[in-house]
Structures are given as C-alpha cells and as structure tokens.
Amino acid sequence: MSATARIGDATESWLSSRRQPSIASRMLTRWLTGALAVIALFLAAGALGLGLYASAHADRIYEGVTIGRVPVGGLSRDAARAKIEADFARYAESPLTLTAGEQTFPLTPAAAGARLDSEASVAAAFDVGRGGSLWARSRTWARDLLHGSRVEPLVTVDPVTAEQQLRTIAPEIVRAPVDASIAMTAEAQPALIADVPGVAFSLGATQARLINQITRLDSSPIAVVVRESPAAVPASALAPRLDRARAAVSGALVLSTTEGIWHVPARDLTRIVAVDPTTTDLRVDRQSLETLVAGLAAEIDRPAVDAAITVDANGYLAPVAGQAMAAVDVAATVAAIDSALRAGQHDVGFVVNRAEPKITTAAATAAAAKGESLIDAGMELSWSGGRARLGRNDLLRALTIRAQPGATEQFAFGLDTAIVAELLAPVAAEFD
C-alpha cells in the first residue's frame, strides 16, 4: 500500500468521527427544546390555575384557613363573621370551671367580660395569602391547602369585670392562718396545738390565667392560683414554753397571811394562766386574779379598833384589846402571784397593809392598872360637922372612864356626881 493511500484512509476516518457528534448534538437540542416546551406549558397552565384560584377567592377567604377552631376557607367576610360569632356565643355562654383543691366554681366567659372582635378576626383571616409575590402567595395557598392556616380570633376580656367575678369566689377559698397555741385545760396537762397555715388567693395571677385561657377559647378547667399563708406563731416558737406552762399549773396555788391560808386548785389556774401568742411568754389573767384576791381580801380586811377599859366579871378594871387595821393591797398581791406563777412557784403571801389603833391594848392595860390604884383604897370624905367613906365598890360604881385618843393620857378617870350624890344620900339624911 502506498503512503498516499494510507493518508487518504486516515483523513476519511477523521472526517467520519467529526460527523457523528454533530448528529447527537442535534438530537439533544431537539429533546431539550421539547422538554422546555412541556415545562413552559406546565408553568403556563399553573399560572393560569393560580390566576383562576386567586380570581375565585377575590372576595372570599382562601381555603384551609380557620379562625380559631372554626373553618372559614371559601367563605365571604359576612359568612365568616356570622359563623365565628355563633361559635363564640356558644363558647361565651358555656361555664368554665375554676378549681381550688376540691372546690369548683362555674364562670362563663361572658360573665367574665369576654368580647369577640369579629371584624378584626375576619380581616386577619382574609389577609392570609394576599401578601408578597405571586410565588410567595402560591406557596402559602399550597401550604394552607395541605396543612391549614390558623388565625387566632381577636378576643378581649375586660380586666375589671374579670376581677369582680373572681372577688366573689375569693371568700370561699381564702382561709386565715391559725397560730399555734398551748391549750390549758382543767382535764389534762397543757398541750401544744400546732399552727395551721392559711390560704391566700392570688387574684392577679388567677386573673391573668383566666384571661389567657378565654382569649384562646380554651374550655379546660382553670386552677385558681393560691399560696400558703404561714401562721404568725408557729408551733416551734411555743414548744420551749410548754414546760413553763405545765410548771405554772402543776400544783395548787397557796395564798397565806397571818389571818389564814387559802388554796386555789390547779384546775382553776388553767383558766388564769395562758401563753401569749404574740410574745410566746406566759400570760396571767390579772383581771381574774384581781377578782380572786378581792374576794379573799373581804375575809382579811378589818378596820382599826381602839383598846378600851371595862369591868370584868370579878369587879376589876380590865383592858379590852384593840384591833390593828388590816387591808390587803390587791394590786401588789396580784403582781406577786403573777411573778410566782411565771417562775413556776405556788406559795405566795398576801401583801397586807397594817396599822395599830390609836389606843393600843398596852395603853389600856396600863390605864386599867392606874384606875384600880385610884379606887382600891376607897375614899374618905369629911366636912364640917361630919365625915363619910366611899368604899372601892362605891367608887367603882361611880367611876367614869373617857378615852382620849392622841392625848398623853389616853384615858381620863372621873366620878359621876349623880351617883356620888346617891351614895351620900343616907349620910345627908342624918343631918336633915
């Protein structure tokens, strides 16, 4: 084979290889052109469909839209408004249940001041899918058709009305705390009574919870917000005082003075002694003590009585004992009892003010002895032309004794002239 022939073959082979890609390219071009035509046709159909969808809902809410729980897709504004107003009316008149522990309280949303702004709610639903580019709107339409779109209804609650309704149930929920105490009973030892926490009604938090639930058209039970209100005096504050309280009433109270001894039973002390819930200290009922002490004082109090002189059964001058004044100091005695009971002591002496009489028994005794010395020897009487004698008994009969409180000589002795004249009458008759 010649070189010229080989070159010719090679050239033909190269030209053949160059012609084959050109045919493939033309086929690919035709295929792409067809595909693009189909896509263009599809897009045109889609655009036409979207346009028809938008046109059909020009005065209607787009499909898949709900206002709260009410489907309003495809409805006109008026129809949507009527539908949500009817649904809200049913909700507003259906009682909600407020719960507080085991207690329940019915309350309708309408009574709580709930109101629906249907115009604004429908306007918000109507605006869904109407903003942005056609592409953005079409995506919204597709999403709403598949998954739906919820617009919350515009519901408002008058806070003043809601608060007023909640205040009507508050008294049935609120419970005041009970302080711990120490029970003082006549039947048993003093015992510690535990405190009981109170219940406070959190009005603001409950109001917020109620309003939030109504604005969401939620019919679930609403738990009232309460908080524990601790007692001012917990049991732990009184526990250390229990032993002192028991000591104060562990035995009878013994009240004594020189005039006597009185006993107040322990069971009666339980009505007098208590534990002050404010200071947690022992408290003694002073008014009751004053009544008790004043009653006993009537058996002790006495006025001062001056001593005197009398003639005894044997005919001798004898002193009559005087009496010292005694007056119970009620206030001081009550204070002494109070102090003793607080210290767990039960023996207390009356505080008694005393004063001797102005004429003492000693002074009367001395004066009686002096009077005896004056009459013991009798009395000789003499006068011109005669004489007479008055014996002791005569003088005793005529003797006068006058008390002189405050004087140096507290008794003044004298003779009753009428009696002396009577005694001397027989003698005088001898001279008649």
CA torsion 252-253-254-259 (nearest 10°) is: -130
Q: Does residue 385 lie within any of the structural domains?
A: yes
- In percent, how much of the chain has pLDDT > 90? 55
Final residue in a domain of this structure, among 200, 229, 258:
229
What mean pLDDT is predicted for residues 124-134?
Answer: 81
Tell me, yes or no, whether 221 and 285 share the same domain: no
Distance CA 142, CA 164 (A): 47
Q: 215 and 72: one domain? A: yes
The most confident of 143-152, 376-385, 417-426, by mean pLDDT = 417-426
What's residue 281's pLDDT?
82
Look at residue 11 and tell me if it is in a domain: no
H helix or E strand, kind and range, residue 78: helix 77-92
- For 69, the 3-state DSSP assignment is coil
pLDDT of residue 428: 63
Same domain, 74 and 140: yes
Among 41-45, 126-130, 252-256, 404-408, the minimum mean pLDDT is found in 41-45
The reported pLDDT for the residue numbered 59 is: 81
- Whether pLDDT at 113 is above 50: yes
Please tell me the least confidently modeled range out of 45-54, 85-94, 132-141, 286-295.
45-54
Same domain, 270 and 392: no
What integer pLDDT is reported at residue 112 of this predicted model? 96
Q: Tens digits of per-residue pLDDT, 305-320?
A: 999 999 999 999 999 9
105: phi then psi, degrees, rounded to nearest 5: -140, 120
**Of the listed ranges 21-35, 287-301, 408-422, the one predicted with least confidence:** 21-35
Query: Chain-wide mean pLDDT for the chain?
Result: 86
Domain finish residue from 196, 229, 262: 229
Residue 261 forms part of a structural domain: yes
Q: Which domain holds residue 383?
A: 361-429
Residue with more model confidence, 58 or 430: 58
| Domain-embedded: residue 342 | yes
Report whether 185 contacts 60 (CB < 8 A): no
Same domain, 102 and 211: yes
Asked whether residue 134 carries a pLDDT value surpassing 80, the answer given is: no
The per-residue pLDDT for 178 is 94
**Highest mean pLDDT range out of 1-10, 70-79, 207-216, 239-248?**
207-216
What are the pLDDT digits (tens) for 249-297?
888 999 999 999 999 998 888 888 888 877 778 888 999 999 999 999 9
What mean pLDDT is predicted for residues 361-368?
95
Residue 16 in any domain: the answer is no
Pair 337, 421 in one domain: no
Q: Residue 14 has what pLDDT?
A: 43
Examine the pLDDT at 224 and tell me if it is beyond 90.
Answer: yes
How far CA 315 is from CA of 187, 393, 398, in Å, comes to 63, 8, 13
Do 255 and 333 have their domain in common? yes
pLDDT band at 245 (very low <50, low <70, confident <90, very high): confident
pTM over 0.75: no
Q: How confident is the model at residue 26 (pLDDT cuts 50, 70, 90)?
A: low
Q: Is 147 domain-assigned?
A: yes
User: Is residue 26 in a domain?
Assistant: no
Same domain, 123 and 222: yes
Among 177, 200, 229, where does a domain finish? 229
Q: List, in order, residues 6 or more apart from 127 with CB less than 8 Å away.
A: none
270 shares a domain with 289 = yes
CATH number of the domain encompassing residue 330: 3.10.20.800
Quick check: 174 pLDDT over 80? yes
Task: Give the total number of structural domains in the chain.
Answer: 3
* Claim to verify: residue 346 and residue 325 sit in the same structural domain: yes
Q: Do 294 and 397 have their domain in common?
A: no
Q: pLDDT at position 216, please? A: 92
Judged against a pLDDT cut of 50, whether residue 34 lies above it is answered with: yes
Pseudo-torsion of CA 369, 374, 376, 382, nearest 10°? Answer: 180
- Residues 50-84 have pLDDT tens digits of 556 666 677 889 888 999 889 998 899 999 999 99
Are 183 and 302 contained in the same domain?
no
Residue 73 located in a structural domain: yes
pLDDT cut 70: percent of the chain above it = 84
What does the pLDDT look like over 327-359, one tens digit per residue? 999 999 999 999 999 888 999 999 999 999 999
Q: How far is Cα 339 from Cα 311, in angstroms, rounded to an integer?
A: 51
